[in-house]
Structure formats: C-alpha cells, structure tokens
Amino acid sequence: MKELFKINQFNLMASDMIALNRSLPDVRLDGCKTKVYPDELPNTSVVIVFHNEAWSTLLRTVHSVINRSPRHLLLEILLVDDASERDFLKEKLENYVRILDVPVRILRMEQRSGLIRARLRGAAATRGQVITFLDAHCECTAGWLEPLLARIKEDRKAVVCPIIDVISDDTFEYMAGSDMTYGGFNWKLNFRWYPVPQREMDRRKGDRTLPVRTPTMAGGLFSIDRTYFEEIGTYDPGMDIWGGENLEMSFRVWQCGGSLEIVTCSHVGHVFRKATPYSFPGGTGQVINKNNRRLAEVWMDDFKDFFYIISPGVVKVEYGDVSSRKTLREALQCKPFSWYLENIYPDSQIPRRYFSLGEIRNVETNQCLDNMGRKENEKVGFFNCHGMGGNQVFSYTADKEIRTDDLCLDVSRLNGPIVMLKCHHMKGNQMFEYDTEVCTLVLELSMSCPVFSFCNKFFVQSFIKYEKTDY
Ligand code: UD2
Ligand code: MN
C-alpha cells in the first residue's frame, strides 16, 4: 500500500479495490432534493485533463459523470492527455471508452503542456453549449449537473462550481463538503477556503440552497457557458503546468462583469492530495510564481504589492509577456481590483485601504515584529529584521488594525502578551493608534505586553516601504 501510494500520492491500492461505478451517499441539503429545474437546459461537454492519472480514479470519474448525468444533458466527454507516460493510458484507454454509452473523445498533447493549456485544447474542441471542467480524480453525485446548468440558463455570465466534497486520499471514503465555506486567497496568492460571511447569508435571506457568490474558486471543477468562456478570454495560455489560473479566472470574471458562484445543490467529490505526484518542468516554485506574477501584473493593480512584499524573491521570476492579457482587460473594460475588493471581497485578507505595508522595526535595536509562523493565538515576537518578507510583513490598515493575512495584533489578554487573532473588524482590542511623535502604539501596550516594554525607552517606528496617503 505504501509503495503504491507514492505513484499518485493517494491510496491507489484502495482505489483499485473499489468499483468503478460505486454508489455514493446523497449528501445534498433536503431543500435541494425536491427542487424542480426547467426541462430545457443547455447541454454540456465535460473536459477532463490528466497527466499520468491512475486508471481507477480516471475511469471512476468518467463513470460517475455518465451514470449521474441525464443523458440528454451530457453531449460528450473529452479526455485530454497531457503527455502521460503510462502505457495503460494509450490504447487500453481508447478501447475502454469506445464501449461507453456517451461519446468519449481522447485528445493528446504532443508535449507536456500543463493543465491550463491542456484545458484550452479540450475547450476548443467542445461542441456543447456549456463546458464543464473536472479533475481526473472526481466523482459526481446524484443531481450534480442540473443545478449548474440551470443557473447558467438563468444567467449566461454565471460561472458555477459545485460544492467540492472530499474523497479521502487514504480510504477513499466520500465525505460531504460544507456549504458554509467559500473561496478566498491570502497575501501569497494561495487559494484558501474561508467561512461564508454573514453578508452573503443575508443576501440569500438564509436560504442555503441558493448559490453562494464566491470571491474565488478552487479551479478544478466548474461549468461555464461555452461562448462566454471565449468572450471573457478563456485562460491565460502563458501559464505553465499548474497554479494561478484559478485566481486569474476568478478576478477576471468578477472584474469584467460576470459572477462566480458555488451552487450548493451540486456536489462533486475530489481526491485532495497532500503532495504533487508529478514533476514540474522548470521547478515547482518557479512555475507557480511565474503564473502568480502573470495574474498579479494583469489584474491586481497596486495591490500586487502585498504579494511582492511578502515574497520578495518572486520579483526575480520572469513572467513573460502579458500585453495581450492587458489588452483583453482594456477591451472588456474591466473594473479595477479595488472595485473587486470593495464589492465582491470586502472581507479579503488584503485591505482595500491601508496606510502602510512592510516591516515594523525598532530602529534602535533593528528588531522586527514577527508573527511567529502565523499561528493563531500565538504571541507576536521580536527578532532581528531579515528583510525577507514572510512573517515580518504587516499592514497598518485604514481601520487601524495591524494585520498580516487574516490575523490581527490583539491585546485582549489582560496583562498578557499581544497575540495574533483572527481580525474581527470591531476595533476594540485590535485598534492601534500610530503616532510618529510619541509612539502611542507602544506606550499604550507596554503595561500588558512584555515584548513591547522597551518602548518606553526607545523609539519604535513603523518602517514604511509603501506609503499610501491617497487611498
Ligand atoms: C487545484 C484544482 C486544479 C487546478 C489547481 C491549480 C480543484 C479540486 N483542483 O489543484 O484543477 O485548478 O488547483 O492550478 O479545484 N494536470 C495536467 N497536466 C499537468 C498537471 C496537472 O493535465 O501538468 C492535471 C491533473 O492530472 C489533474 C488536473 O490537471 O487532473 C489538476 O491537477 P491536480 O489534481 O494535481 O491539482 P489540485 O487538485 O491539487
Ligand atoms: Mn486534483
């Protein structure tokens, strides 16, 4: 089992022992099971890209699509092989899919191209009214497709995702995902799940069966109107292998007039892995940073500074030519990133308005405030300034909080140290006054926080790399 695990970074032995057409629990909310959708829905092509995927997970994906989609809504399945090296993915696969009840086409990339360009190839060959993308280790559950297509029929500019359930990488148990989380991202531009905020619950008047407007998507599983996919600029073909395309599309869709939604009545499982099984030609970090730079440069305006200051190394990574993507942004008359932060993602980790971004340095000792690895509830530390961003980057925001990602300096512990807690935006224990003359920030806290006690003696100055006065 341990040997086989390494091949795909999931328990291949377990997967191979489970039927390709296994039954799954119906994990939908009760309100979803009784919903009635229009008879006339657009049909879809399903595009699945893969590189060296395991037989059983790939075919279980295909069977679950066929078995749980109304036949008239499923036009075809396109499998795009991104230059896999495994024999069973060649002729054996072609012979196997030939006997299935739904047309399955296999396209092959001549060379390893990455999931973004592989999806572009697949999408260009589709004939359905809607394109549905899936990873190659998914399982669709009962009623997954109708609510996605119904939402697109209602609004062709809605880009819709199912709830992504978890298929255990160890036991292959199917576990329902939550309808109370949605997509965001942190300063490093990693995609992250966060709780659906109250404002979004209010907008839906508490009806959890209605779609959640999500700031970003995980990337692997979504449906989009085929002509809208082209209109909005497909994907950035300059992105390599893996990563970044999901945020790029999320920003683009929102900024250019569409919407991105999680349709909570649709559930599809996915095997989440803790490590990548395949190689990244060019190096993992290089590839992801290149892709992230492309999306930051095109879509994030000055807010790209958050990404660059927390990871100063990335500015050395070449990102190629993005002029055609910028032209696209112009042509579509897309809104600025500040609009996105204000209207779509007000609870973002990146503050829309802020005074400064950088280190908080004691100029006397050359020590810097350090978030100690971003552990929640951990007291902040002071260490020698390393100038490498990371744990020593903070933003002093217009709300007067001192934050790094979703954590804020907090003085709620009586006579205890200052700790990092989830930002609550209620001011109170997370509000700091900054005054260059008297260093109020520090004086006020010195009684409760030992790490700040030197402030009575020394002058602490916020080291402002980027000064914002015109927000
Ligand atoms: C998530 C997404 C994934 C993609 C990625 C960011 C989900 C569930 N998954 O990562 O779809 O958006 O974030 O880029 O939201 N593949 C290729 N060629 C390659 C590398 C990968 O075809 O060079 C295939 C791979 O076989 C798989 C798909 O692309 O079918 C996604 O790759 P992954 O499963 O390793 O990505 P994941 O789920 O970690
Ligand atoms: Mn995946």
Q: What is the CATH number of the domain that holds 306?
A: 1.10.8.460
Atom from ligand 1 closest to the CA of residue 272: 38
Distance 248 CA to ligand 2 centre (A): 18
Interatomic CA distance for residues 35 and 354, integer angstroms: 45
When pLDDT is averaged across residues 138-148 and rounded to a whole number, the result is 98
pLDDT tens string 315-324? 999 999 999 9
Cβ(69)–Cβ(148) below 8 Å: no
Distance 18 CA to ligand 1 centre (A): 23
List the domain range (segments joined by +) for residue 157: 2-271
Could you tell me if residue 118 is inside a domain? yes
Interatomic CA distance for residues 288 and 310, integer angstroms: 15
Pair (57, 130) in one structural domain: yes
Lowest mean pLDDT among 68-72, 340-344, 402-406, 435-439: 435-439
pLDDT surpassing 50 at residue 251: yes
The CATH number of the domain holding residue 101 is 3.90.550.10
Q: Is the CB of 408 under 6 A from ligand 1?
A: no
Q: Which of 115, 222, 247, 266 to mutate to test the pocket of ligand 1 (most atoms within 8 A of CB)?
A: 115
Pair (323, 444) in one structural domain: no
Q: How many domains does the chain have?
A: 3
Pair (293, 333) in one structural domain: yes
- The pLDDT value given to residue 453: 31
Q: Which residues surround ligand 2, an ion (CB under 5 A)?
A: 135
Average pLDDT of the chain, as a whole number: 91
Pair (158, 126) in one structural domain: yes
Domain endpoint, select from 223, 250, 271 = 271
Percent helix, percent strand, percent coil in the chain, to nearest 5: 35, 25, 45
- The pLDDT value given to residue 355: 84
Alpha helices (runs of H) in 77-234, residue ranges in sequence order: 91-98, 114-124, 145-154, 198-203, 226-231
Q: Is the CB of 245 under 6 A from ligand 1?
A: yes
**Number of neighbouring beta carbons within 10 Å of residue 262:** 23
Pair (383, 430) in one structural domain: yes
Could you tell me if residue 171 is inside a domain? yes
Domain endpoint, select from 344, 374, 390 = 344
Q: Is the CB of 149 under 6 A from ligand 1?
A: no
Vertex 405 angle, CA 401 and 411, to 5°: 40
* Band (362; pLDDT cuts 50, 70, 90): confident
Interatomic CA distance for residues 394 and 354, integer angstroms: 11
- The pLDDT value given to residue 104: 98
The CATH number of the domain holding residue 461 is 2.80.10.50
- The pLDDT value given to residue 435: 55
β partners of residue 225 = 130
Pair (147, 46) in one structural domain: yes
Interatomic CA distance for residues 366 and 384, integer angstroms: 6
Pair (393, 316) in one structural domain: no
Interatomic CA distance for residues 272 and 264, integer angstroms: 19
Could you tell me if residue 141 is inside a domain? yes
Shortest-distance Cα residue to atom 8 of ligand 1: 220
The pLDDT > 70 percentage for the chain reads: 91
Shortest-distance Cα residue to atom 25 of ligand 1: 50
Written as one letter, the residue type at 146 is E
Could you tell me if residue 145 is inside a domain? yes
Q: How far apart are the first and last CA of the chain?
A: 56
* Band (365; pLDDT cuts 50, 70, 90): confident
Domain endpoint, select from 271, 296, 315 = 271
Interatomic CA distance for residues 12 and 171, integer angstroms: 10
Could you tell me if residue 33 is inside a domain? yes
Cβ(436)–Cβ(425) below 8 Å: no
- The pLDDT value given to residue 86: 98
Among all chains, which residue has been given the structure tokens 């995902």? 177
Pair (331, 363) in one structural domain: no
**Number of neighbouring beta carbons within 10 Å of residue 33:** 12
Could you tell me if residue 278 is inside a domain? no
Pair (308, 257) in one structural domain: no
Pair (94, 112) in one structural domain: yes
Atom from ligand 1 closest to the CA of residue 221: 15
Could you tell me if residue 276 is inside a domain? no
Could you tell me if residue 46 is inside a domain? yes
Cα dihedral across residues 59, 64, 65, 66: positive or negative: positive
Q: Is the CB of 162 under 6 A from ligand 1?
A: no
pLDDT tens string 423-470? 998 888 888 776 554 444 443 443 333 333 333 322 333 333 333 333
Q: Which is more confident, 371 or 290?
A: 290
Pair (55, 174) in one structural domain: yes
- The pLDDT value given to residue 374: 85
pTM for the predicted model, two decimal places: 0.93
Q: Is the CB of 50 under 6 A from ligand 1?
A: yes
- The pLDDT value given to residue 412: 76
- The pLDDT value given to residue 415: 62
Cβ(221)–Cβ(135) below 8 Å: yes
Pair (191, 330) in one structural domain: no
- The pLDDT value given to residue 447: 37
